Amino acid sequence: MVKNSRKIFVLGLDGVSWDQLNPLMKEGVLKNLKSICAKGVSGRMESIIPPETVPAWFAIATGLNPGKTGVFDYVNRTSRDSHTIVPLSPNCYSQRSIWDYLGKNGYEVGLFGYPTMSPPLEVQGFCVSGPDRSWEHPLAFPEGLEQELNDITGGYEDHINLRNPKYRKDIDTFFTDLNRIIKKQCNAIKYLAEKKNWDFFFAVFTFTDWMEHMLCKYYDTSHPDHDPPASREVLKKYHETWAIIDEFIGGLKSMLSEGTLMMIISDHGSGPVASAFYANTWLERMGWLRKKRGWKQRVAGNLKLFDGKSHSRYGSRVFRILRNRILKIKNIMDMIDVESSLAISPDHNVMAGCLHLTQAGKKIPGFRDKLVQELRELPQKIDGIESVEIYLPEETYHGECVGLSPDIIFAINKYGCTVEVDFNDKPFSASPSLPWRSGGHAPMGIFIGSGDGVAPQTLERLHILDMAPTILAFYCVPVPANMDGNARLSWVTPNQDRPCRSGSG
Ligand SMILES: [Zn+2]
């Protein structure tokens, strides 16, 4: 056993882009981050398609493109001929993630807040689930860690219900809750980094993504709904919150032992969202989708339970009981007559469009081309749609699971118009589907690297699929041949006093 092994600390800032960080650095809000960037390497890092939290973090962990894993979304279909979708579980990571390879080579791993880690993964080390966890499962592995975290934070917290109307009535309450949660997570990470054994620590902050969704129109001066006088007070609070994050980053950096490589990354970028496209309504208008006509669907239709603007009511208990228990209509598929439709958009969590051809649709020669053609012509037909980008599975992915991809993925207005599955009175709305959401995802995220032996430079053409091979290569763990990314390590000269455990580096 080598005593002073190599160490990497990765801090994931979900949804953060340079468009967000640069003004904050310029205005002196992110002093520590600015200094880390100046002394280290940085660059833009491209996400997968679609740039969405769960599949992106999954791609980071595995170094595999969605065509090899079947993970295109938080919910994915299980077979080519089915429209049944199932949520990603921690099991999907098994045997192919960075932490598996490191664990097998004797390295201790710490995971914190990684999306979809519920129940917490039993890694060689420790794992704390993220805010998307199920309350049925313990927060952390190993047993006893949850109690420790509760003790040191005075009751661990990591979740905010963004749909809570109180945040729209008084945005100060959002910042109060957010700052409290951020401080607890920061304290938990510092505690784990200091007290536990680890060679590789990967912590993810999801709240940075909540901030861009909630606050984009206030901080992004290019946002169509940006109103400078109305933004002034919110911006002050926004800066205070980022200053808390920056202070944590500075403290963490000085706490990490010499020779620890620090990486700060995001899974995707972010940008303004100002409109919504209702894919199933559009398919219905085109004559390619039919709704079910049962009494439950008629009641649901009359009460607008699957209406574009009903999202804001999802938090309501009465609404949920009515939908789920009385009508037993749990998702949009219960509203659609799949047998009589040619194309549908099943539930998805991504902000891009995802269309599936039904069995009947697949039988019609050239039908997918026709759909693609109609989507491409949307800018000429609908005011407010400026661009449509189409991603066909066979051109976008490679691997044995390409067939599980939606048949067409598309982005409108460069992801500035979200694509929804709910029905609406018209296919396009010039306002966001959720009243509180003014920001969304974009393909370009961030990469920052810092530590001994790192020479300042700008890195070009980084991709999130490069993360897993880069990390494994740093530890001299052989990079599996099926990984899609490349080891990008030219910017660091590893400290020779800290050899690899395998002894080969
Ligand atoms: Zn994300």
For the segment 126-179, what is each residue's pLDDT rounded down to a tens digit? 999 999 888 899 999 999 999 999 999 999 999 998 888 899 889 999 999 999
Alpha helices in 40-170 (DSSP H): 53-62, 66-69, 98-104, 145-153, 165-169
pLDDT tens figures, 2-61? 456 789 999 999 999 999 999 999 999 999 999 999 999 999 999 999 999 999 999 999
> What is residue 161's predicted lDDT score, i.e. its pLDDT?
87
Give CATH superfamily name and number for 7-271+442-474.
Alkaline Phosphatase, subunit A (3.40.720.10)
Please give the pLDDT value at position 505.
Answer: 40
What DSSP string runs through 14-58?
Answer: TT--HHHHHHHHHTTS-HHHHHHHHHSEEEEEE--SS--HHHHHH
d(CA 5, CA 469): 18
- Cα torsion angle, 90, 92, 95, 101, sign: negative
Q: Which of 351, 346, 349, 464 minimizes the C-alpha distance to 407?
A: 346
> At residue 502, does pLDDT exceed 70?
no
Rounded to the nearest angstrom, the distance between the alpha carbon of 155 and the centre of ligand 1 is: 26
pLDDT digits (tens, 9 = 90+) for 73-118: 888 888 888 888 888 877 888 789 999 999 999 999 999 999 999 9
Q: Per-domain residue ranges for the chain?
A: 7-271+442-474, 275-291+333-431
Rounded CA-CA distance 271/442 in Å is 6
pLDDT mean over 474-492: 93
Task: Pull the structure tokens for residue 231.
Answer: 């933004």
Residues 6 or more apart whose Cβ sits within 8 Å of residue 452: 258, 259, 495
Q: How far is the CA of 502 from the centre of ligand 1 (A)?
A: 34
Ligand 1 mean position, distance from CA 297 (Å): 33
Residue 434 Cα, ligand 1 centroid: separation in angstroms?
Answer: 18
Q: How confident is the model at residue 503 (pLDDT cuts 50, 70, 90)?
A: very low
May I ask the CATH class of domain 275-291+333-431?
alpha beta
The residue to which tokens 């749909």 are assigned: 163
Provide the pLDDT for residue 249: 98
DSSP symbols for 405-450: S-SEEEEEGGGTEEEE-SB-SSSEESS-SSTT--EEEESEEEEEEE
Predicted pLDDT of residue 2: 47
Please tell me the predicted confidence (pLDDT) of residue 121: 93
Residue 61: DSSP 8-state:
H
Query: How close is the Cα of 184 to the center of ligand 1, in Å?
Result: 21
CA 213 – ligand 1 centroid, Å: 10
For position 308, what pLDDT does the model report?
60
CA 116 / ligand 1 centre spacing (Å):
12
Kindly report, residue by residue over 372-428, the tens digit of the pLDDT: 999 999 999 999 999 999 999 999 999 999 999 999 999 999 999 999 998 888 999
- Whole-number Å distance between alpha carbons of 299 and 187: 49
* Residue 1: band (very low, low, confident or very high) from pLDDT cuts 50, 70, 90: very low
Report the separation in Å between the CA atom of 357 and the middle of ligand 1, taken as the mean of its atom positions: 27
Distance from the CA of 15 to the center of ligand 1, in angstroms?
5
pLDDT recorded at residue 253 = 95
Distance 493 CA to ligand 1 centre (A): 30
pLDDT given at position 168? 87
| Cα–ligand 1 centroid distance for 212 (angstroms) | 10
**Long-range contacts formed by 249-253: CB under 8 A, 24+ apart:** 249/11, 249/32, 249/33, 249/36, 250/31, 250/32, 250/35, 251/190, 252/9, 252/11, 252/189, 252/190, 252/193, 253/32, 253/36, 253/450
Tell how far the Cα of 351 is from the centroid of ligand 1, in angstroms: 11
Report the distance separating Cα 184 and Cα 114, nearest Å.
16
Q: Pick the residue with more confidence: 450 or 500?
A: 450
Which uninterrupted H or E stretch holds 391?
A: strand 388-391
Query: What does the alpha-carbon distance between residue 365 and residue 259 come to, in Å, rounded to a whole number?
Result: 60
Q: What is residue 208's predicted lDDT score, i.e. its pLDDT? A: 97
The pLDDT of residue 265 is above 50: yes
pLDDT value for 311: 54
Cα-to-centroid distance, 279 and ligand 1 (Å): 22
Distance CA(290)–CA(298), nearest Å, equals 13
Structure-token pair, residue 85: 């979708």
Note the pLDDT of residue 77.
84
> pLDDT tens across 209-251, in order?
999 999 999 999 999 999 999 999 999 999 999 999 999 999 9
Residue 464 — very low, low, confident or very high, per pLDDT cuts 50/70/90? very high
User: Is pLDDT above 60 for 500?
Assistant: yes
Q: 50: closest CA among 386, 354, 445, 373?
A: 354
pLDDT of residue 316: 66
Give 400 Cα–ligand 1 centroid separation in angstroms.
25
CB neighbourhood size of 383 (10 A):
8
AA letter at 316: S
SS3 for 62? helix
Please choose, from the candidates 391, 416, 74, 458, the residue with its C-alpha nearest in 3D space to the C-alpha of residue 270: 416
Average pLDDT over residues 340-369: 93
Q: Which two tokens stand for residue 434?
A: 């959720």
For residues 437-442, give the mean pLDDT. 94
Amino acid at the residue 48:
I
> Confidence class of residue 204 from pLDDT cuts 50, 70 and 90?
very high
| CB within 8 Å of 243: residues ≥ 6 apart | 29, 30
Are the C-beta atoms of 241 and 175 separated by less than 8 Å?
A: yes
Compute the distance from residue 270 Cα to the ligand 1 centre, in Å. 9
Prior bond of 142 cis (ω within 30°): yes
CA of 309 to the centre of ligand 1 (A): 23
What is the bridge-based pairing of β-strands 200-205 and 140-141?
unpaired
Confidence of residue 504 (pLDDT cuts 50, 70, 90): very low
Listed residue (214, 237, 224, 188) closest to 384, CA to CA: 224
The CA-based angle 405-54-76, given to 5 degrees, is 30
pLDDT above 60 (res 64): yes
183 three-state secondary structure: helix
Give me the residues paired with residue 448 across strands.
Answer: 42, 264
